[in-house]
Amino acid sequence: MRSPPPSPPPINSPTIMSTPPQHHHIDINPFTTFQPVILQDVPSEIQEDSAESQQVQPQEQQQEIYNLKSINSTIVIRQLPSQGLSFQLWPAATTLVTLVDCHNRCITTPLSAVFNGGDAIQHRGIRILELGSGTGVVGIAAAAILGASVTVTDLPHVLPNMQFNVDANAETLKLHGGAVEVATLSWGDTQNMEAIGREFDVIMGSDIVYHDHLYEPLLETLKFVLLKSEKKIVFLMAHLKRWKKESAFFKKAKKHFDVEIIHKDEPSNGSRVGVMVYQFVRKFRAKLNSKSTVL
């Protein structure tokens, strides 16, 4: 039996670090532009994605504005809450945006080793793949903040809203030398994975471990990109633990990857845990060799 969808994102409490990007939740009138009108809460129930997700009703739209301090710019993200969980912003996404924004302003952060990479990255700019991007906020913010080339991905029905958000931020992206491409990547789909390839420095994902039937396909995708690449690719995953069963995902992942927690948010909204950011890298070959020698 499939587990229930994740609980609603506490959209109005994204403050997890001392200097987070400011994040406003505002209704929009789709017939004007992104002009803030009134404050409104997200619905208390998060639905699975609706079959009619393409038939957007104007009143169902909301926007979030993220203030990216490190580049003194904002990005705007459209949510379509009634269309399901792929069309909403999740707390882990805000954590990743905050970390990347902080990275750009501080001398050393948990992400320094990841983003300051080798000469190749310095020379050509960083290339990022985001998995299960939803609204696209993490990829769009990372592209703007780091001047990175980012591929944001998700299931096909999620892409039009993601593309809308990329287009809405085109000027900011251009100004900061960032580029965002939208592509289908259904986890575990060989054709999709081959089309996306492995030419990335960093893989990112926020709130993508929730349904247990998705653990295997997600791991297949990570194995495809991280294990078969010639270089060391890092996967950064922001995750808010909701169910005990999620430990099965980490247990499976640890067979192939070294998994390390690089950041922890303080718990908010009465939760016992806060969002955590994990770094996955493929297990070091020498370690495997020495193990097999011992055996």
Ligand X SMILES: C[S@@+](CC[C@H](N)C(=O)[O-])C[C@H]1O[C@@H](n2cnc3c(N)ncnc32)[C@H](O)[C@@H]1O
**Interface ranges with ligand X (CB under 6 A):** 6, 85-86, 89-90, 92-93, 132-135, 154-155, 158, 185-187, 206-208, 210, 214, 217
Structure letter (DSSP) for residue 6: P
Place of tokens 């085109």: 170
CB of 44 to ligand X, least distance (A): 16
State the virtual CA torsion across 190, 161, 141, 260 in degrees, nearest 10.
Answer: -40
| Cα–Cα nearest to 75, from 171, 205, 11, 147 | 171
- Measured CA to CA, the distance from residue 168 to residue 20 in angstroms comes to 22
Nearer to ligand X, 140 or 146 (CB): 140
Residue 294, number of CB atoms within 10 A of its CB? 6
Residue 198, number of CB atoms within 10 A of its CB? 17
Nearer to ligand X, 154 or 265 (CB): 154
- Measured CA to CA, the distance from residue 166 to residue 78 in angstroms comes to 10
Residue 17, number of CB atoms within 10 A of its CB? 16
Dihedrals φ, ψ of 106, to 5°? Answer: -110, 160
Nearer to ligand X, 3 or 29 (CB): 3
Residue partners of 52: CB distance under 8 A and separation at least 6: 83
Contact 181, 150 (CB under 8 A): yes
> Distance between the two ends of the chain, CA-based, in angstroms?
39
CB of 186 to ligand X, least distance (A): 4
CB of 55 to ligand X, least distance (A): 18
Nearer to ligand X, 102 or 158 (CB): 158
- Measured CA to CA, the distance from residue 121 to residue 281 in angstroms comes to 17
CB of 175 to ligand X, least distance (A): 24
- Measured CA to CA, the distance from residue 203 to residue 143 in angstroms comes to 13
Nearer to ligand X, 27 or 212 (CB): 212
Nearer to ligand X, 71 or 185 (CB): 185
CB of 124 to ligand X, least distance (A): 26
CB of 223 to ligand X, least distance (A): 15
Nearer to ligand X, 32 or 55 (CB): 55
Structure letter (DSSP) for residue 11: T
CB of 86 to ligand X, least distance (A): 3
Nearer to ligand X, 146 or 219 (CB): 219
